[in-house]
Structure 1
């Protein structure tokens, strides 16, 4: 497997796009992993192939490498994506996620991985309950992982009220948590406007998340002009600084 790891790493290094790396680095500041600059579509194709041929073995090898030193950003992305593309049972996939989620170090790794987890739609009750533990974490990217997984796979008639309750209960100062919650609220509003209105009107979100949620909703082309005007009335006035 070490040979496969080295082959994949060599391929990634040979696939570097300098302009893309510079652009992407500006979008993902402060990440602990070094970024090579390989585009997401390429990474998805690599992840699918590895998942078919040697997914579990590759992940186990990457896990060991992650314990010793930071791996490349793209290798962390592959780690997360392969979990989504693998064909495996509940116990195996649960164990793989248990190991992966704590090493997420950026919104990009979180969000790109969550997109591949379509397996969650097939057994929604199990995965919904699984994600709940991360909503109570103190770690920024663990909470974001749960929120993004919810917005990608669980904003349905069956789960919407539970999701809105969870979003209203999340209290964390992390920027990437707040932005994920605002994003999720905006998606909820597009699909279930009246129920989401109740969350916004109920003043359950902190000021930053509340304002960002409304901003994102009002930016959507799927929201009518009348709705946008109605939402504008919910924006909170900025508190004056003490003089």
Structure 2
């Protein structure tokens, strides 16, 4: 027997009412300042948004995705989260992911969406092939999507060499793409300091991205103090950035 929650019809009004009930004006003011350039925010905290996404994913989530709601930051991210929590074969989910990625226009939507797509860990090679076009995209947040997917799901022994190779080849000048590469390299260093250090000594990264990667490594609690001193000494001159 289906539970009452599964029988909820998540039409536009029902979803918007649920979002407004969870919205917090003070949080809206705070979060809006952290996410420049995005859509208007209602002020729903991420845990509450994830809870709603999981409820929708247990119902007729395909009908919900067909609504194409995108008037607010939360409406857009909610759809991305539902894709991540939905139960379907990987092929169908990748279709929905591909449709959603062009809608990403801020770092928070990108990063929360990527983190939710844990189904890719069950089909890593299929996911790896799916991601390849994004690394050479001309769109800043498509590149960031690809890179954050790497750092969330592929920093592991079987893919480590390939991850470093891809990060070294990314040349997008957008700030959020460059910062994603820096973040990913910091995660690589925490995973395998020796191999990542060898890469850094010969990397072709632009100076801005390289120095941001060094900064993130030295800010990490997972990097020993002795390593941080060595890393700081590798910073490139600012005039070459």
TM class by smaller structure:
over 0.9
Aligned to 1:43: 49
> 2:66 matched to 1:60?
yes
Preserved contact between residue 10 and residue 56 of structure 2 (Cα < 8 Å): no
Structure 2 unpaired stretches of 5+ = 1-7
> 2:240 matched to 1:233?
no
Aligned to 2:16: 9
Cα distance in 1 between the residues matched to 2:240 and 2:198: 27
Question: How far did 1:3 drift?
Answer: 6.0
Cα distance in 2 between the residues matched to 1:217 and 1:48: 34
Could you say if the C-alpha distance between residues 179 and 190 of structure 1 is closer, same or farther in structure 2, counting changes exceeding 3 Å? same
Deviating runs (4+, > 6 A) in structure 1? none
Aligned to 1:26: 33
Preserved contact between residue 2 and residue 61 of structure 1 (Cα < 8 Å): no
Partner SS for 2:94: helix
Aligned to 1:117: 117
Question: How far did 1:240 drift?
Answer: 8.1
How many residues matched? 234
Report matched runs for 1:1-243 at 5 Å: 4-31=11-38, 33-62=39-68, 65=69, 70-239=70-239
Q: CA RMSD, aligned part only?
A: 1.6
Partner SS for 1:61: coil
Partner SS for 1:172: coil
Could you say if the C-alpha distance between residues 240 and 141 of structure 1 is closer, same or farther in structure 2, counting changes exceeding 3 Å? closer
Any idea what the Cα deviations from partners look like across 1:15-66, whole Å, max 9, x if unmatched? 22111111111110111x211100000000000010011111101112xx4x
Preserved contact between residue 35 and residue 107 of structure 2 (Cα < 8 Å): yes
Could you say if the C-alpha distance between residues 182 and 22 of structure 1 is closer, same or farther in structure 2, counting changes exceeding 3 Å? same
Question: How far did 1:124 drift?
Answer: 0.5
Structure 1 unpaired stretches of 5+ = none
